[in-house]
Amino acid sequence: MSAIPDTRRELPEFAEIPPGTLPEGADSPGFGLAVVPTTVFQYWLYLVDSGLRDAPDPRLHGFPAEPGTGLRAVGGGVVLDEDLGALPATGVTWHGALAYCAWLSPQVGRPCGLPTAAEWRYAAGGSLGSRWALGDVFDRQVYAPPSATGPRPVGATPPNAYGVRDLTGNVFEWCADRDATAVGSRVIKGGAYTVRNPESFENTTAFTADELSAVPYIGFRVLAGDAGRRGR
């Protein structure tokens, strides 16, 4: 079990998901998966380091002018609301999530990317395939308090058996997969504060969204392979 995550962490902490058979039948050698979604603070460090703070790229992200989600568009650049650094990074497109992973890889010394929907589901439900990340009962107060009108800080749910938090609820998470029928859409998993039916949060449920979407209800979490090989 991991401790309560330090929400000022500059780099993600990874839970190690053991080798096993993914839901679609493929074998996985195991992988690291970020304990919580990438935070506003972590994404901010990437924006600063890569020069995107002063020249944001609409293909990678789009932040609102209004406060509330941690990163704000101001005068052609981006500013951080420091007290909101523990929120999940949102307003990040699928391409922006991948770009963050590419930036992160050399810093953690592991190949980084987004999980496939099958890897996400395996990390959430384990080999027994629970319905939601913490079991077969939908606890609305834990996963998705009905009063929520925006993202909440990461680490709000207890860890599951692999030590991963927040898989169910808060914000959807980009996955690597292309959608089979919708051109330009990518899979998102886990449900968000904007949806209500328990079925929408189930580990097996997959929605898709336009890959250039920049919205406050989609974030992402990083998958890390083994340092010595590709890992997936």
Partner 1 sequence: MAEHRKFALVPFGERTLTVGSSDPSAGPAHEVTLDAFALADRCVSAGDFHAFLREAPQDVDHTMVDCIDPAFVVHRADGFALRPGCADFPMIQISFWAAAAYCNWLSRTEGREAVYDVTARTADLDLDGYRLPTEAEWEAACRAGAPDPAACNSADASPACRALRAGELGTGAFPPGSPGPVPVGSLPADGAGLHEMLGNLREWCHDRYGPYRSAPQRNPRGAQRGAFRVVRGGSFIDPAAELGPSSRLAAFEDTKCEVYGFRVAMPR
The residues binding partner 1 (CB under 8 A) are 56, 58-59, 61-62, 91, 93, 149, 172, 179, 181-183, 185, 188, 193-196, 207-210, 212-218
Please give the helix or strand (H or E) that residue 188 lies within, else none: strand 185-189
The minimum distance between CB 193 and partner 1, in angstroms, equals 8
- In the bound state with partner 1, the residue whose beta carbon lies nearer, of 69 and 160, is 69
The minimum distance between CB 232 and partner 1, in angstroms, equals 25
- In the bound state with partner 1, the residue whose beta carbon lies nearer, of 91 and 125, is 91
- In the bound state with partner 1, the residue whose beta carbon lies nearer, of 22 and 212, is 212
C-alpha span between 56 and 67 (Å, rounded): 17
- In the bound state with partner 1, the residue whose beta carbon lies nearer, of 68 and 129, is 68
The minimum distance between CB 217 and partner 1, in angstroms, equals 6
The minimum distance between CB 207 and partner 1, in angstroms, equals 5
CB environment 32-62: b (16+ within 10 A), e (fewer): bbbbbbbbbbbbbbbbeeeebbeebeeebbb
- In the bound state with partner 1, the residue whose beta carbon lies nearer, of 44 and 217, is 217
In the sheet that holds 207-210, the strands lie side by side as 207-210, 185-189, 172-178, 218-219
The minimum distance between CB 100 and partner 1, in angstroms, equals 15
C-alpha span between 107 and 95 (Å, rounded): 19
